[in-house]
Amino acid sequence: MIEGPKGKKKLMEKDNEVFLTPNQAAEILNVSLSTLKKFIYSGKIKTLKTPGGHHRIRKSDLFEMMNIEAISGQSGDQEHQTLLEVSRGLINLLERRQKFCCGHASVVCRISLKIGLGLSFSAEDMCKLQLAALLHDIGMLAIEEGILNKITTLSEMEYSTIKTHPALGADLISSVQSFQKLSPIIRQHHERYDGLGYPSGLKRDEICPEAKIVSLAEAFAAMTASDSYRKPLSEKQALCEIKKNYGGQFDPEITESFLKNYEVSRKKNDE
């Protein structure tokens, strides 16, 4: 930390990165220091520790958190906040029925939002992406629990049943006026860039951007998830699979945004 002309502490800089003290971060967020510490202890804000044991917050991490928190309803958009609470309630219901999906929707949502930020989505599109990412598997509510929680290999008929969940989810969401804009995203989140997906075999620009994002985010989340019946891939292995399917299963632009974001995050965590 560098002292200014009048003893005022300046921002600490290292390798073109700017680091803030908790007091400085609290000022930017316009919250009390105690509230800022709650963000730190809950994991919403990542920190680095100085040799003396003091917290330092990367400015870019702080701004990313601010963006995502604003999207999450902290911006004062009461309608979005209400829809978000309803969505989380539905996801809680799904996770009670589907044994191996606990936390899946939240992980897919977090990855999707980072991709959207990387693609400079508008605030409105980010809100839509957030809700759709949370609710992408909501059609699973209409599928028998015995199939959802089956550990052994699914039969051809059972797999066909599972593949109905995007259309079931889209139909369910369409019945609620405030959620109708999410219907195409949910219906298309298992379509593929090369046209080999389902339920409609759409390809390239026939698939909406938000569905392409959720598709990639879900694939990465599923490959790295710690399920009790399947050994997860390492992040390195999952990244290799994503790269292998560049331009096939996944949209090239979406893939590049994901990989760029992942590389930036990895470098930060290695520092």
Give the model confidence (pLDDT) of 161-170 as tens digits.
999 999 999 9
Instruction: State residue 244's pLDDT score.
Output: 95
Instruction: State residue 17's pLDDT score.
Output: 55
25-34, pLDDT tens digit by residue? 777 665 678 8
Per-residue pLDDT of the chain (271 residues; tens, 9 = 90+): 333 333 334 444 443 456 788 888 777 665 678 877 877 776 667 788 888 888 888 776 665 555 555 555 444 467 777 888 888 889 888 988 887 777 888 889 989 988 988 888 887 888 899 999 999 999 999 999 999 888 888 999 999 999 999 999 999 999 888 899 999 999 999 999 999 999 999 999 999 999 999 999 999 999 988 765 678 888 889 999 999 999 999 999 999 999 987 776 655 555 5
Say how far apart CA 152 and CA 204 lie, in whole Å.
34
Confirm if 186 and 138 have CB atoms less than 8 A apart: yes
Q: Which residues pair with 19 in a beta bridge?
A: 12, 58
Instruction: State residue 228's pLDDT score.
Output: 55
pTM of the model: 0.72
Where does CATH 1.10.3210.10 sit in the chain? 77-270
Where does CATH 1.10.1660.10 sit in the chain? 1-75
Instruction: Indicate the average pLDDT of the chain.
Output: 82
Structure tokens belonging to residue 68: 């995502």
**What 3-state DSSP class applies to 58?**
strand
**Beta strands 12-14; 17-20: pairing state:** antiparallel
Say how far apart CA 261 and CA 69 lie, in whole Å.
18
Instruction: State residue 74's pLDDT score.
Output: 43
Omega before 199 within 30 of 0, i.e. cis: yes
183 to 131, 148, 235: CA distances (angstroms): 11, 22, 30
**What 3-state DSSP class applies to 164?**
coil
176 to 86, 130, 171, 188: CA distances (angstroms): 11, 17, 9, 18
149-191, pLDDT tens digit by residue? 888 889 999 999 999 999 999 999 998 888 999 999 999 999 9
Instruction: State residue 15's pLDDT score.
Output: 39
The distance in angstroms from the start CA to the end CA of the chain is: 18
CATH 1.10.1660.10 assigned to domain 1-75? The reply is yes
Q: Which of these CATH numbers, 3.30.565.10, 1.10.3210.10, 3.90.25.10, 3.40.50.1980, describes 77-270?
A: 1.10.3210.10
